[in-house]
Structure 1
Amino acid sequence: MFSKLLNAALFTAAIAFVRVHAETHTVSFVNKCVDGTPWLWGPNGALYTSTGASITFDGEAPGLISYLQTGSCGNNGEGCTLIEASLINGASSADISLIPPHEFSVTSGFGYYGGCEPAGADCTYAQCPDAFHTSGMTGVQVDCIADNVDLSITFCD
């Protein structure tokens, strides 16, 4: 009887430990543009569209790409300003990409919240110094080492 109680207590403690230490990340959008819908390509190629709701990932969220789909963007954001991010505990990073075939389309920016504030970047014109223009550029990636950090993406601010 004692061993069953001990096993049950250990199992309950293990579940509580996992829940307390689970990794989660939220991506929220602020769209101040007249037209367009924020698109977010998530892990495993899943497409999320937002009309104001945030998107929460339970676990790591690597390889995120986001842009404002105005009807003129390709499926991978071609022709538009691209926000790229990987949200991973202790190793998150985000950037703005204008590497062709991506190009400036609307004012776009991002900022971390829930850790690493006020780190982020904004791009308000085509020669934006806070964006990648070629793959060899350095210094425009914005890193965050906080756990469970979230990201806010803004269009037309």
Structure 2
Amino acid sequence: MFSFKSLSLFATVSALVASAHAESHTVIFDNRCGFGTPTLIQGPNVLGTGNGPFNFGGPLISAIAYLQTGGCGFNGEGCTLIETTLRNPTSPGSGSSTDISLIPPHAFSVTSGFGYFNGCDGAGADCTNPNCPTAFFNPDQTDRQVACQADNVNLAITFCD
């Protein structure tokens, strides 16, 4: 016989199982420059500064990261910019995507790079000079995006490596 007590127990167990499988992502910074402040922004909100880790219980959509050296604008103007969306794919090609942008008003400031971990390990990009072949210089260069179709993937961003 199915009782209210059984229903309550079933609901509790179901909630625990669902939370164990909930979407989550982490962003970490590795600042090897010896100066500057790693900065993570989404829209008008500063999500984090420093080396992290910064954990998100759900997708991280349209975030930017850069090393604030004192010369960067709030949205990374004048600096090397990392753009990222971290989300679990719901259909082929709808997962995470990260890139390096030098589209004006962004400009090369410090060596910057990123790599996925806990899924798509080894996928990433580095930008070591102002003519960086892995960076966007105009919005049409969509081949510069690095995609990842793994659930709960994380991102490491390194400066001055």
| TM-score w.r.t. length of structure 2 | 0.92
Superposition pairs of residues 1-157 of structure 1, within 5 angstroms: 2-42=2-42, 45-90=44-89, 91-157=95-161
Cα pair 2:27 2:52 within 8 Å, conserved: no
Which amino acid is 1:144 matched to? C
8 Å Cα contact 1:92-1:143 kept in structure 2: yes
Q: Deviations over 1:51-102 (max 9, x none)?
A: 3221000001111100000110000000000000000012000000000000
**Structure 1 length-normalised TM:** 0.94
Q: Which runs of 5+ in 1 are unaligned?
A: none
Tell me the distance in 2 between the aligned counterparts of 1:53 and 1:138: 29
Q: What does the per-residue CA deviation read over 1:98-156, in whole Å, with 9 as the maximum and x for residues that have no partner?
A: 00000000000000000001000000001100000001113110000000000000000
* Structure 2 Cα separation of the partners of residues 64 and 49 of structure 1: 11
8 Å contact kept, 1:30–1:52: yes
Distance 1:52 1:114 in 2: 18
Counterparts of 1:100 and 1:14, CA distance in 2: 49
Aligned-partner Cα distance in 1 for 2:47–2:17: 30
Question: Is the 2:39–2:50 contact (alpha carbons within 8 Å) kept by the matching residues of 1?
Answer: no
CA contact (8 A) 1:29 1:50 kept: no
Deviating above 2 A after TM superposition, structure 1's stretches of 4 or more consecutive aligned residues are: 48-53
Q: Percent identity?
A: 53
Q: CA deviation at 1:2?
A: 5.0
Aligned length: 156
Cα distance in 2 for residues equivalent to 1:62 and 1:48: 12
Distance (Å, rounded) in 2 between the aligned partners of 1:52 and 1:130: 24
Partners of 1:146 and 1:134 in 2: how far apart? 28
* Counterpart residue identity of residue 117, structure 1: D
Q: Where does the alignment leave 5 or more consecutive residues of structure 2 unmatched?
A: 90-94
What secondary structure sits across from 2:152 in the alignment?
coil
Q: d(CA) in 2 for partners of 1:51 and 1:20?
A: 28
